[in-house]
Structure 1
Amino acid sequence: MTAALKLAPIAPAMVDRPALDAAIRGACRKIAPLWPLKHFVAVNPFLGFTNQSFAATCATLRRVAGVDMLMPRAFYREAIAAGAIDDAALDAALKASPARPGAPADVAALKAAAALDPRWSARPAAVVATVAEVLDAVAQGDRQASLVGFMIDEISRWCAAYFDEGQASWRMPTRGASPYTAWRDIARYDRNPEIMGVPGFRRSIMALPEDPVEAIGEVVAKLGIPSRAVEDYLHRALFDIGGWAAYARYLAWNAELHGGTDDTLVELLAIRIAWGYALFEARTDAAMKDAWAKAMADAAALPDDEALGADPDLAVDLLLQQAYEIAYRRRLVDGLKGHAARPRAEALPVRKPVQAAFCIDVRSEIFRRAFETACPQAQTVGFAGFFGFPIEYVPIGHQRGGAQCPVLLKPAFIVCEQVGDASPDEETEVLGLRLIRRRAAKAWKSFKLSAVSSFSYVETTGLLFAGKIASDSLGVTRPVANPTVDGLDGSVARRVGPRLEPRKVGGRATGFEPAQRVAMAEAVLKAMSMTEGFARLVMLTGHGSTTVNNPHASGLDCGACGGHTGEANARVAAAILNDLGVREGLRERGLPVPDDTWFLGALHDTTTDEVTIYDEGHVPVSHASDLARLKTWLAKAASLARLERTALLGLTGPEATDEKVLERSRDWSQVRPEWGLAGNAAFIAAPRERTQGLDLGGRAFLHDYDHGKDTSQGVLELIMTAPMVVASWINLQYYGSTVNNRAFGSGNKVLHNVVGQLGVLEGNAGDLKVGLPLQSVHDGERFVHEPLRLNVFIEAGEAAMDAVITKHASVRELIENEWIHLHSLSDEGRTIRRCHGAGDWRDS
C-alpha cells in the first residue's frame, strides 16, 4: 500500500442518486446563462448566488474557484487618497458590518490594512482543486504543459463544432445526438489527448457509463471526493469551461421559458468530469496519488462561506468596497435631497406641445435632459423600451423572428413585417428580392470558403475591393450595409412596417385581436402613468446602436427588447394607440385620448444621438407643423447630447464635432464607438419632477411612476419584479466585468474571434468568453465604469414595497442579500430611507 493511502481518511463519496442529482442541480444552478451574439443581453454573472449574501458569494468564489469579485486593494487605496472614500464612509462601513475575527476595529486600523497588499493572492489558484490543477501543481509550474489549458482547449473546440449555428462550412457528423453521446462517439477515435501525453484516454472514457449522470456519479466515487465537497467540485469543474457552460445554461433557460426542459448543461458537466477522470487514470505514480489525497483532505476541511473570519483579507476588502459604495450613495442622496428642496415654479395648465417617451436606459437620461433643454415645454417619460408589448417580430421572408421583450418574459404575440399599402403582387416581389439577395449572398460565401476557390479568391478579386477598403477605413462608408434595409431600396424600406391584423403565417397565429389591442393599450398607458394631459404629438422612442465590426453590437441595443433595437415595439405601440377602435375602447374604459393626439414610433440611435421617426406618411396633415417643430427640437437635442458624449469619449478640441461622433459608428477599427451603459449606478422610479433639471451624468435608469395613480399597486409590483431586476442584471454585469474581467468579462476586444456565431474567444483557443470586453469599462488609462451595486429609489409607500418584497422571493433576495440597495422617496423626495429587509427601513 502506498503512502498516499495512509493519509488522513476522507468522508465516503456520495453514491446515492437523489443526493447526486441534488449536487448536480446545485452546481448547474450557480451558472448564469449567456445569450448568443445575435441577441446578446446583459446577465447578472452572480445570478446563481442571489440566494446567499454578496459577502458570502465573495467567499464562495474565492474558496471554490480562487477568483475575486472585488477590486484590487490598490484601487481602494487610490480612492482613499483621492477623497472618493472619506473617513466618514469608512466609519459607516465598520458600523454597518458584522464583527468578524481579525477584521479592523476602527478607521485607523482599516486605513492601515488598506495600505497593505492582501496575502490571499499568494494562495494556490483554487482551494477546491480539480484533477487537472493537481497535475499542473505536480508538474511544478510548467505552464507550457498545462493540462488545465489543454483540457479546456479540447472541450472548447468540440463545443464550437457541436453548437455551431452556421459559421462552420463542414458540420459535425454527430451533432444530431445528445452532447455527451456525441462527444463519446468522437472521443472513441480521438488520439489527440494520447499524443499530447494522456495515455489510455480513449479507454478511460469508453469505460464510463453511457448515461451522463451515472458517469458523473461513478467518477465522483472513484476520485474519492468528500461528500461535503461534491457540489463544490462539480461547480469548480463547470467554472473551468464557464463560457460554454453559460451557453448551455441559456439553452435550458430558453427551454424552461417555453415550458420545456434541456439537459445540455448536465451533459456538458459529464464531459468535463469525464475528462478529469481520464487525466486521473493516466497518472498512477505516487507523487500524483499523494497530491490528490492531500487535495481531497483539504476539501473535506474547508470552512463555511459565512465564516469570513477565516479570511481576514476578504473582510478588509469587503469593508473597503462597502465604504466606497457608501461614499457614492451619500453624494447621490445629497444631490436628490438638494434638488427636491429647490423652489419650483407653478405648473401652468397649458397643454404640452409634445410628450416623448424614452427607454429607461441610462443613455436616455442624457438625451432626455438635452430634449428638455431644446424644448422646455415638453414632457419626457421613462419606460421600459419594449413599451409593454412582448412580441416576436418576424422580418419579411422569414418564418421565425426574434423575441422583442425582456428575457424574463415569453413573447405573447407574433408580429410580421409587411410593405405598407402594398398589393399581394408587390409584397411577393419584395419577398422575392430579399430571398434572391440572401441566396446570392449565401452562394458567394460558399464560393469564397470552398476548399478550392478559397486559395485563389483573394489573388483574383482582391484589387477590385481596393476602393471599398479605402472608403471603409476612412469612415466614409460602412463595411456592411445597414441590416434593416436587407437589400431593399430606400422607397421600399421606408414602407416596411408591422402588420397588426390577425392572420396565419407558417401555421402560427399572428397579429392582435381587437380586444387584445384595447387591453394592451390600456395597460401600457397606465404603466407609463400617462392617463391624462395628452399632447398633440406623443413620441414613443425605442433605441438601438449603429456600429460595425462589433461582435457584441446587440449588447448596445435595447435589453428590454431582447438584444434588438426598439423600432418594432415603438411602431407597434404607436399603430395600436392610433387605431380608432382602440381609442373607442379606451374611452369606454374611462381613459379618453383626445382625437387630435397622434402617437409616433421612433428610434434613438445611442451611438450618434440621431432620432428617426417612422411612418411619417400616416401623420395627419393637420399635424405637419407640429412634426416640423419636433424635428427641429430633436436635431438641437441630438447636438447637445453629442456634445456631452464627446467629453466621455475623450474627443476634445477641434475634433470634437458632430461628424466625429458620427464617424465612430462607421469606423470598423473603433473599439469604443460608444460607452453603452458604463457608469450605471442608480434606478429611480418616480415622477419626472423629482429629477428634472438634475444632471445625473447618464448614470441613472429613469422610470416614470406616479404612485397616486397606482391604487392597486400593480404597476409598482411590475416595476420591482421586471425593470428593477433587469437593471440589476445590467449593473452586476458591468460590475463583474470591471472587478474581474478575466473571470466575468470577455477580455481584450482586439483579440476576439467569433466562434459558431455564438460568442467570442480571446485569441484562437480557450473557453468561450462571457460578459463585456475590457474596452467597454476601461478607456486605456482608467476604469470608466465604477464598481457599484445598484442604488434603487422608488417613490411609493414603504408598506406597498414591503408587500412586493414579501410576495416575491427573487426580489427579497436581491435586497436582503445586498445585491442592490433599495430606498424609498417620500415628501416629494426630501426624505430618503433605505430598506434592510421587509419592514426594516432606516434613514439614509
Structure 2
Amino acid sequence: MLPQEATNEGYEPLMPADADPVTPALDQQIEAACNRIAPVWPLDRFVAVNPFHGLVDQRFEEAAATLRRIADARMYMPRSWYHEQLQAGRITDDDLCEAACLCGSGLTPQQLRDAAAAERQGPAGGVPLLTALVDELDADDWSSFVVERISHHCAAYFDMGQATWKRPWEGMSLYAAWRRFASLDYSLTMMGQDGMRARVKALPESPRACIASAIRRLGIPETAALDYMHAALMDIGGWAAWTRLLRWEAELNGGSDDTIVELLAIRLAWDMLLYEHKSTPAIRPRWREICARLGRGDTGAGVGGDRTATGGNDAEVEHVLLTALEQGYQRRLIDQLAAGGDGKTPETRPAVQAAFCIDVRSEIIRRAFETVCPKAQTLGFAGFFGVPIEHVPLGAVEPRSHMPVLLTPTYQVCSALLDEHGQGADADEEEEALATQRRRTGILKSWKAFKMGASSCFSFVEAAGLLLYAPKIIADSFGWSRPVAAPDDLHLDEATERRVGPTLDTPHHGPCAHHHEHESIGIPEADRVPLAEGILKAMSMTDNFARLVLLVGHGSTVVNNPHATGLDCGACGGMTGEASARVGAALLNDPQVRKGLVTRGIEIPADTWFIGAQHDTCTDAVRLYDTHRLPAGYAEELAELKSWLKQAGELTRLQRAARLGLESQSLRAVTANVQHRSRDWAQVRPEWALAGCAAFIAAPRARTRGLDLGGRTFLHDYHWQQDEGYGVLELIMTAPMVVAGWINLQYYGSTTDNRRFGSGNKVLHNVVGGAIGVLEGNAGDLRVGLPMQSLHDGKQWMHEPVRLSVFLEAPQQAIDDIIARHDLVRQMLDNGWLHLFRMDDDGGMHRRVPGAGWQQLSQEALPAAA
C-alpha cells in the first residue's frame, strides 16, 4: 500500500500514536534486523568481534551477497588483488582446481585467471533509503546530515564521562530523549525545515509504533521491510553496533535491551519526516518505483536506476578466488606439519616451563624461548589461563572482566597492598598508599578536566599552552621521554607498586572491601582445588613439573592510541593478562590447594614455584611478577631465566624487524627502535598485533615445535588422551577457537571493506564519549573495526584476508559430538566461516567439508606425535 503523500501534493498530518499497530510479523522483522548487527566494545576494552556475527546463520557467500545487496558492502578483495596473488605464485592452478571443486563451481583455472585479470566495477548497490533519493534531487546532503545528527545525539546520550555538562535527559530512553532533543534542534532551521521540529512531537511515543508508522507511510512493502530496516541500521552502523552491545551484555546476564530498536525508530523517523517535508512531484514517482523494486527483491543500482544485481558468475568468481588463496595457505601449512616438528617432549624434568597465551604473537616468542633454552617446555593456552575472574585494581571500585566476551566471570578479585608472604598489608600502610595514589591521580584528573574546560579553551591555551607543553612536545616528538607507564599505572613509587597485586582472599580494608561489603569477593577456599585442577588439566600440565613454571600473559605498551586495548589480550576481555597470570600463579602456589590436588591425582613437587609474567608484545620484553617472594634457593635459576627471556626477546624482535622495515639494522638498533615506537606519540604502527592471523592448531607441541609458522598461528596445547570425557576439547572449540575466529574475521572485514567494517585513518580519529569509540574527523558515524594503519604499511596490505583454518588433533566422533551440541560452532563451520581439519595420531589429515563430511587429504601419514 502506497502512502497518501504519494498521490497528493501536500502531506497529511501524522496519525495518532496508536494508529499503526505492530503486527507479529513486523515485530519479528524488527528483531531480525537488529540481530543482523554485530556488537562493538568500547575503547577501554576493545576486543575483536566478528563483524558478520549477525549473519552466521547464512553461508559465507550468501552473507556476502546479502551485505552487497543491502549496503553495498564488500566481503571479497578486488579482483586485481587476487590477480596479484596469482602472479606472485601464492595461488596455483592446483589451488584453483581444488577451490572450484570445494565450491561446486565449474570454472576452469584459465577462466578464473582471466576473470581476476579483468576487474569488473559495477555501479553502487545497496537498498536505497529515502534520504539518498532526496540527496539526488535536492541541493542539500540530507544523508550526511541525518547521520551526523543521530551521531551527535548518541554521543551525548551514551557519554561515559567526557562531557562536563550534565545530560538533560537523565532517566529517559534513547528514543524519548531524541524526541525532546530533536524538537529543540535548530540545525533543522539551518537546513530550511523549521517546521519539522514541531512534527517530531507528533511522533508515536512507542519506538516500535514509530517503526510501524514509518514503514506504512513510506510505502515499504511487507516483503522488503526487513531489508529496509537492515539498511537503515547499516546507515548508522557504528551506533547500531554500540546499541547491539547493550543488548548482548543484557542477554549474557539473562536480561534484554531494546535500545537498538529505539535507534532504528529514530533512523526511520528521519526518513518519514523527510518524506513528508521534502516530498515533491519529482520525488514521489521515483520513490514509488523504488518501493516497487524493493517489493520484487531488486535493490537496483541505488536510487539512480536499474542495474544487474551483483551475484551469479561475479560472486562465484570472487568466492572461488578466495577459497583458492586459502587452499594455497593450507597446502603450505599442511606441508610443514607433514614434515613434522622436532617431536621432542621433555623426558626428564624441564629446565623451566612457560605457558603462553595462544595469541599469534606468542608463537614467535615461544619458538625463540625454546631456541635459547632447548630444555624448556612451552605450552599454549588462552591468556586468561582458565581463571574466570573480574578484577578490581587497587583504589578502584568497579570490576573489569578478564575473560573472553563469550563467557561470564565467576569470581571477583581485588588488588591490594600485600606483604612479603602475599598476605594483606596493615590497614594504615595500605591507606597511606591509597592516599598517595588518590593525590597523584587526582592531580592528573584535575589537570585533564581543566584542559578540557570551557574556561581554558582559548585564552589559557594561547597564553600558557605552548609555554607549559613545549618541553613535553619536543621530548615526545624526538623520543626523549621516559618509557611510558602502563595503562594501569598506579602512580606509586616502584617499591610500593611492586607489592600491589591481586589476592585470592577478601580484602579486610580499602575501598574495594568497603564498596563491595555485601558481595562475595575473592575465590572461596572450597572452590580453589577444583578450579586449580581444571586449569592444570586444561593446560595438559598434570605431571613432570619444572622447578619454575611461568604463566605468561601479554599486553602492549603504546601511547596516543585510542585502540590500544585492541593490542592487549582478547581472552582477557581487552585487558592485559597480568591479573589472570598472577591470580593463577597464586592459586597454584597455595599450599592448601596443592594438598587438595594430591587427592585428585595431581602432585605438584614441593620445589615447584609458579610465577606470573607478562609479555609486552610491542617491545618483546617479559616482566616477571612477585619474584621477591621466591625462596633464596632460586636466585641462580631466576637469574638464568631472566637471561633466557632477554635472549628470546632479542630473537623475537629480529624476526619482527622485517615487518617493521628494520631488517637491515643491528640488534641494538632494532631494540632501540621498537622501544622508541612504544613511546612515540606519533607512531601509528607501534606493532602489527594479530595482522596475518590465519590458522588455529590445538595439538601437542611436538607437532609444531621447531616449525616457523610466521606468527600467523594460534597455538593451543592439547592432548586428547588426557581429556576424559572431552571437556577440555569442548572448552577449546566453544571459546578459544571461536574467539580466534572472531579475531580473524575482524581483521578480514576491516581489510576487505574498511569503510563499513573498519575505522579508517587513525590520524583523523577523535574519541567519542570518553571511551565509547572514535569518529573519523569531527562528525559522522561511530567507526568500528581496525584502522587502516593496523592493516596496511602504506605500500601493501600487511594482513592477508583469509578465513581461519582450524587444525585439531582429536577423535572424529568427539569433534562431531561437540559441533552437534553448540549452535554457534555448528553455524561457523557448516556455513563456511571457518575451515576445519583433523589430525590422526598416526599422522593422517582430514578436511571437514560442509554437507559432505570428513575427507582424507592424503594417504601420506604425518609423523605421529611423540
* Displacement after TM superposition at 1:634 (Å): 0.4
Deviates more, 1:494-503 or 1:809-818: 494-503
Asked if 1 retains the 8 angstrom alpha-carbon contact of 2:484 and 2:678, the reply is no
**Alignment partner of 2:553: what SS?**
strand
Identify if the C-alpha distance between structure 1 residues 470 and 288 changes in structure 2 by more than 3 Å, giving closer, same or farther: same
Q: 1:461 to 1:808 in 2, by over 3 A?
A: closer
Which runs of structure 2 are paired with 1:713-728 in the superposition (5 Å)?
713-728=726-741
- Contact kept, 8 Å, 1:181 with 1:210, in 2: the verdict is yes
Q: Which deviations, in whole Å up to 9, do the C-alpha atoms of 1:754-802 show, x marking residues without a partner?
A: 1112111111111000000001011110001001000000000011100
Counterpart AA for 2:798: V
Aligned mate of 2:98, from 92, 108, 123: 92
Q: Which of residues 218, 222, 225 is equivalent to 1:227?
A: 222
Distance in 1 (alpha carbons) for counterparts of 2:851 and 2:580: 35
Are residues 636 and 63 of structure 1, via their aligned partners in 2, closer, same or farther at CA, if it must alter by over 3 Å?
same
Partner of 1:519: 530
Instruction: Give the CA deviation at 1:119.
Output: 4.5
**Separation of aligned partners in 2, 1:589 and 1:118:** 64
CA distance in 1, matches of 2:822, 2:54: 17
How far apart, CA to CA, are the structure 2 residues paired with 1:206 and 1:417? 50
Matching residue of 1:687: 700
Q: In structure 2, what is the equivalent of residue 788 of structure 1? A: 802
CA distance, structure 1, for counterparts of residue 485 and residue 383 of structure 2? 25
Counterpart of 1:432 in 2: which secondary structure? Answer: helix
1:299 to 294, 298, 307: 294
Cα drift, residue 480 of structure 1: 6.1
Is 1:543–1:606's contact at 8 Å kept on the other side of the alignment? Answer: yes
% identity of equivalent residues = 52
Which residue number corresponds to residue 9 of structure 1? none
Q: Distance in 2 between matches of 1:3 and 1:454?
A: 48
> Which residue of structure 1 aligns with residue 446 of structure 2?
443
| 2:316 equivalent in structure 1 | 315
Q: For residues 76-225 of structure 1, what are the structure 2 equivalents within 5 Å?
A: 76-99=82-105, 105-120=107-122, 122=123, 124-126=124-126, 128-139=127-138, 145-198=140-193, 200-225=195-220
Which aligned runs of 4 or more in structure 1 are off by greater than 6 angstroms? Answer: 1-4
Is the 2:131–2:271 Cα contact (8 Å) retained in structure 1?
Answer: yes
Give the direction of change, closer, same or farther, for the CA distance of 1:526–1:195 in structure 2 (3 Å limit). Answer: same
Contact 2:759 2:785 in 1 (8 A): yes
Q: Which runs of 5+ in 2 are unaligned?
A: 9-18, 301-307, 420-424, 508-512, 858-866
Alignment equivalent of 1:37, drawn from 18, 43, 68: 43
Is the contact made by 1:27 and 1:235 (CA closer than 8 Å) also made in structure 2? Answer: yes
In 2 relative to 1, CA 765–453 (structure 1 residues): closer, same or farther, beyond 3 Å? closer
Give 2:467's match in structure 1, choosing from 444, 460, 463.
463
In structure 1, what is the equivalent of residue 63 of structure 2? 57
Which residue matches 1:24?
A: 30
Answer whether contact 2:69 2:309 (CA < 8 A) is retained. Answer: no
Q: How big is each residue's C-alpha offset from its partner over 1:202-247, in whole Å with a ceiling of 9 and x where there is no partner?
A: 2332222001011101111111111111111111000011001111
Contact 1:337 1:831 in 2 (8 A): no
Cα pair 1:478 1:667 within 8 Å, conserved: no
* Contact 1:3/1:290, CA 8 A, preserved across alignment: no
1:259-304 CA-partner distances (Å, limit 9, x unpaired): 2222111111111111111111112211110111111111111169
Aligned pairs for 1:525-604 (under 5 A) are 525-604=536-615
Residue 378 of structure 2 corresponds to 380
The one-letter code matched in structure 2 to 1:446 is A
| 1:528 to partner: Cα distance | 0.3
**Take 2:216 and 2:467, find their aligned partners in 1: how far apart are those partners?**
63
The C-alpha deviation readout for 1:392-433, integer Å capped at 9, x for no partner, is 111122211211111111111111111112211001111112
Q: Could you tell which deviates more after superposition, 347-356 or 615-624?
A: 347-356
Decide whether the 8 Å contact of 1:119 with 1:313 is kept in 2. Answer: no
C-alpha spacing 1:646/1:270, structure 2 compared with 1 (3 Å): same
- Does 2:467 correspond to 1:472? no
Report the counterpart of residue 428 of structure 1 in structure 2.
Answer: 431
Shifted more, 647-656 versus 592-601: the winner is: 647-656
Equivalent residue for 1:765, pick from 779, 799, 821: 779
Q: Secondary structure at the match of 1:509?
A: coil
Q: Does 2:53 align with 1:47? A: yes
- 1:10 maps to none
Structure 1 stretches lacking a partner, 5+ long:
7-12
C-alpha separation between the residues in 2 aligned to 1:477 and 1:202? 52
Q: Distance in 2 between the 1:394 and 1:598 partners?
A: 25
- Which whole-Å deviations, capped at 9, do the CAs of 1:539-579 have from their partners, x for residues lacking one? 00000000000000000000001101000000000001000
Distance 1:480 1:827, change over 3 A: closer
Q: 1:478 to 1:736 in 2, by over 3 A?
A: farther
Match of 1:645 among 647, 656, 662: 656
Q: What whole-Å deviation, never above 9, does each CA across 1:289-341 have from its counterpart, x for those lacking one?
A: 01111111111111699x9995431222112111111122111112211226x
Which amino acid is the alignment partner of residue 427 of structure 1? E
Decide whether the 8 Å contact of 1:357 with 1:540 is kept in 2: yes
Q: 1:309 to 1:752 in 2, by over 3 A?
A: closer
Deviation, structure 1 residue 135: 1.4
Q: Does the 8 Å CA contact 2:65/2:310 hold for their aligned counterparts?
A: no
Deviations 1:514-546, CA, capped at 9 Å, x for gaps: 121111100000000001110000000000000
| CA shift for structure 1 position 163 | 0.8
Instruction: Determine the C-alpha separation between the residues in 2 that align with 1:644 and 1:446.
Output: 43
Aligned mates of 1:626, 1:20 — CA distance in 2: 68
Seen in structure 2, the aligned counterparts of structure 1 residues 745 and 561 have a Cα distance that, compared at 3 Å, is same
The alpha-carbon distance between structure 1 residues 561 and 218, as it changes in their structure 2 partners (threshold 3 A), is same
Is this contact kept in 1: 2:69–2:310, CA < 8 A?
Answer: no
Displacement after TM superposition at 1:258 (Å): 2.0
- In the other structure, the counterpart of 2:422 is none
Tell me which amino acid in the other structure corresponds to 1:702: L
Match of 2:788 in 1: 774
CA distance in 1, matches of 2:356, 2:820: 31
* Residues 838/629 of structure 1: CA separation in 2 closer, same or farther (3 Å cut): farther
2:391–2:415 Cα contact (<8 Å) kept = yes
CA 1:252–1:3: 2 relative to 1, 3 Å:
closer
Aligned mates of 2:373, 2:5 — CA distance in 1: 82
Corresponding residue number in structure 1 for 2:640: 629
Distance change in 2, residues 1:4/1:418 (3 Å) = closer
Quote the Cα distance in structure 2 between the aligned partners of 1:107 and 1:485: 56
Distance in 2 between residues matched to 1:310 and 1:647, nearest whole Å: 40
> What is the Cα-based RMSD across aligned positions, in Å?
2.1
Partner of 1:409: 407
* Aligned positions of 1:240-259 closer than 5 A: 240-259=235-254
* Equivalent residue in structure 2 for 1:752, among 740, 765, 768: 765
What's the CA shift for 1:87?
1.2
- TM (norm. structure 1) is 0.94
Post-superposition CA distance 1:42-68 (Å, at most 9, x none): 000000000110000011011111111
Q: Match for 2:715 among 697, 702, 714?
A: 702
In the other structure, the counterpart of 2:864 is: none
Give the secondary-structure state (helix, strand or coil) at the position aligned to 1:540: strand
Cα separation, 2, equivalents of 1:451 and 1:194: 26
Of 493, 497, 505, 1:493 maps to 497
